[in-house]
Structure formats: C-alpha cells, structure tokens
Amino acid sequence: MAGVRKSMTLSKTEAIGKIIHLAKNLDINETIDYSFLDLDLDEAYEMIAHNVLTQMYETPEDYRESVQLASLTKVLVENLQMKAQIQRYEKATAK
C-alpha cells in the first residue's frame, strides 16, 4: 500500500487520519449493522487506527511487516469465524 509507506513522513495524527480514510474507502461489501455498539463508528475507526499505528511504531522495524501481516491474518480469520457464527445464529432463529 503506497499510502501507508507515505504515512511514515506524516505526524501521528495525520497518519491515523490517512489510515481511517483508506479503511473507510475500501471497496468491501459490508452489510453488518453496527448500531448495537455503544461506540460511534467514527470513534471505532479512530481508536483502532490509533492502536494499529501504535503497534507498528512499537514493533522493531525489522519485524514490522511480519507482525502486521500476522495481525491482519488473525483479524481476517476472526472475522470469518464471526461471520460464520452470525450465519448459524440467523439460520437457527429463522426456523
């Protein structure tokens, strides 16, 4: 991602803003209703982008790519598991 590499020269606040902008504008077919959260979706993006950037800066540079890829893989697997659980719940309640 070229945008992430460029963010290295940005302030932390600017980098978080860039991450949020990129994350929100990914072309993903998202149909999850977030209204059940006690957290505003914009606040959630802010909090998570801040945590991601903090993790990146706290990880030694030689390990950043591996840690980021491992973190992304873990989140995607957890997301897949969550979606499967939601589908099972929806099937069970539709009967």
Tokens 């979706």 -> residue: 41
Q: What is the pTM of this model?
A: 0.63
Question: What tens digit of pLDDT does each residue of 42-58 get?
Answer: 888 899 999 999 999 99
Who contacts 64 (Cβ-Cβ below 8 Å, separation ≥6)? 56
Q: How far is CA 91 from CA 12, 34, 36, 76, 88, in A?
A: 44, 20, 20, 23, 5
Mean pLDDT value of segment 80-90? 92
